[in-house]
Amino acid sequence: MSGAPILPGATLGVLGGGQLGRMFAHAAQAMGYATAVLDADPESPAGLVSQQHIRTAYDDPQGLATLAAACAAVTTEFENVPAAALQTLARSMPVSPAAAAVAVAQDRAAEKAHFVRCGVPVAPHTVIDSEAALATVDAAALLPGILKTARLGYDGKGQVRVATPGELAAAWQQLGRVPCVLEKMLPLAHECSVIVARGADGSLVHLPVQRNLHRDGILAVTEVFEGNVPPALAGQALAAAKSIAQGLDYVGVLCVEFFVLEGGGLVVNEMAPRPHNSGHWSQNGADVSQFELQVRCMAGLPLTQPRQHSASIMLNLLGDLWLRGPDGAAATPPWYQVLRLPGCHLHLYGKASPKPGRKMGHLNVTAASPEGARATALQAAALLG
Ligand code: ADP
Ligand code: MG
């Protein structure tokens, strides 16, 4: 990346048009940039709010050329963008994060190898990528475990629980015999994540450690306030996230997810080379959001350490909420009553059709104290049903 900053007025591009791209576009536009989105879906949430929406596949040469012509820099909101597309774009403009870093995050095996290189503990695991690997695996040491596809898994998809050695072959079959990682099930006390943002000059800032609750493999709640994670663990998680970013010479926003074990140990789970659902609270609870950090990183603007000003809780709003009720058609939308509560900030992604498990939006609850945030979030959750 060249040293000269890209100034407002320029167009910033994003590969992927989901809600993360939409919130990136909002942050970029607030700072005076225009945005261009590449996503084949004509109704993509980011495409709907951007000055330009290029509706092609990520590997379409014409689409990539159009994006390159429009933009001064490009980022991604989706880790499964082909690394080759990022490499093509990088020939003519700054691309952050770089293709090499995204390629590591795309592959659980490569990702775990990187974590180990950085000296950060990972769950005991092995790679199953062939009949021979399946035949020779010492499964007993890793069971009960979870077989996860090395690529393309998200929100608990592409995973099968394996209790006994006899179930392993069927599980691999069920996942299409693609390369997989077999990982030991660990006793989790809770989960947490850290978002770091690193500039091309090596400057690095971070959001506070976030405590996450998943339901059915999908993030449901994130809590961010003093004491939500023991300080020693928070310190370890932050140090690990920094070394993981530095080890990749990473430029951009990176989310690293951790397991906190029942015994108190910390294990890194996975990383996302982009803003993350668990960082959405920063839109209302911190003075710099994860999306503004993404804009600053890619445009080469100075990075300042975000300051959390409110105890924060984020509740995801899934399509299930919209589909409930006798006929699925209540008089007011599911979030309506919640807006009567103090410090509730509604974010909806402009998606027309709710589906079970589909992320339609989120609610950020802010308060002066953790107790206040908890009380409001509990009331909101009760209203949401
Ligand atoms: P995804 O890419 O779908 O987010 P993860 O590897 O993060 O996949 O798994 C989803 C969730 O499943 C985790 O957030 C955690 O709750 C649970 N999980 C995954 N791996 C393990 C493990 N080794 N031990 C215990 N729980 C796990
Ligand atoms: Mg995960």
DSSP characters over 166-217: GGHHHHHHHTTT--EEEEE---EEEEEEEEEEE-TTS-EEEPPPEEEEEETT
- The CATH number given to 124-184 is 3.30.1490.20
Answer yes or no: is 262 a known binding residue.
no
Q: What angle do CA 374, 380, 381 make, to 5 degrees?
A: 85
User: Is 182 known to sit in a ligand binding site?
Assistant: no
**Preceding amide of 144 cis, omega within 30:** yes
Q: How confident is the model at residue 325 (pLDDT cuts 50, 70, 90)?
A: low
The reported pLDDT for the residue numbered 1 is 47
For residue 382, give Cα distances in angstroms to 315, 335, 337, 338: 12, 11, 11, 9
Residue 330 above 90 pLDDT?
A: no
CATH number (3.40.50.2000, 3.30.360.10, 3.40.50.10320, 3.40.50.20) of 11-95 reads 3.40.50.20
- Average pLDDT, stretch 320-334? 74
What's the whole-number average pLDDT of the chain? 94
31 has binding-site annotation? no
Is 159 annotated for ligand binding? yes
Q: What is the pLDDT of residue 365?
A: 98
Reported as a single tens digit per residue, the pLDDT across 257-286 is: 999 999 999 999 999 999 999 999 999 999
- The answer to whether the annotation marks 379 as part of a ligand binding site is no
Of 130-139, 223-232, 320-329, 357-366, the one with minimum mean pLDDT is 320-329
CB count, 10 Å around CB of 290? 27
Distance CA 70, CA 81 (A): 19
Looking from the CA of residue 148, the nearest atom of ligand 1 is: 6
For the CA of 158, the closest atom of ligand 1 is: 3
How much is the pTM? 0.95
Report domain extents, the chain: 11-95, 124-184, 188-384
Interval 8-66: pLDDT, tens:
999 999 999 999 999 999 999 999 999 999 999 999 999 999 999 999 999 999 999 99
* 191 labelled ligand-binding: yes
Q: State the distance from the centre of ligand 1 to the C-alpha of 186, rounded, in angstroms.
A: 10
Mean pLDDT of the 94-104 span = 95
3 state SS of 224 = strand
Atom of ligand 1 lying closest to residue 183 CA: 23
Q: Are 47 and 25 in contact (CB under 8 A)?
A: no
- Which residue bears the tokens 């899934």? 318
Q: How far is the CA of 180 from the centre of ligand 2 (A)?
A: 15
By residue count, the chain amounts to: 385
Residue 199 to residues 9, 10, 36, 273, Cα–Cα distance (Å): 21, 19, 22, 14
Ligand 1 binding pocket (C-beta < 6 A) is 123, 146, 148, 153-156, 183-186, 188, 191, 214, 217, 269-270
* Omega before residue 45 within 30° of 0, cis: no
Determine whether domain 188-384 maps to CATH 3.30.300.30.
no
Residue whose Cα lies nearest atom 12 of ligand 1: it is: 217
Query: Is there a common fold for 11-95 and 124-184?
Result: no
Q: Whose CA is nearest to atom 23 of ligand 1?
A: 185
Is residue 198 a contact partner of residue 179, using CB atoms and an 8 Å limit? no
| Nearest-CA residue for atom 11 of ligand 1 | 217
Give me the residues paired with residue 254 across strands. 196
Single-letter amino acid, residue 256: V
Pocket-testing residue among 151, 161, 214, 260, ligand 1, by greatest number of atoms within 8 A of Cβ: 214
Ligand 2 centre and the CA of 360: distance in Å? 18
- Whether the per-residue pLDDT at 3 is higher than 80: the answer is no
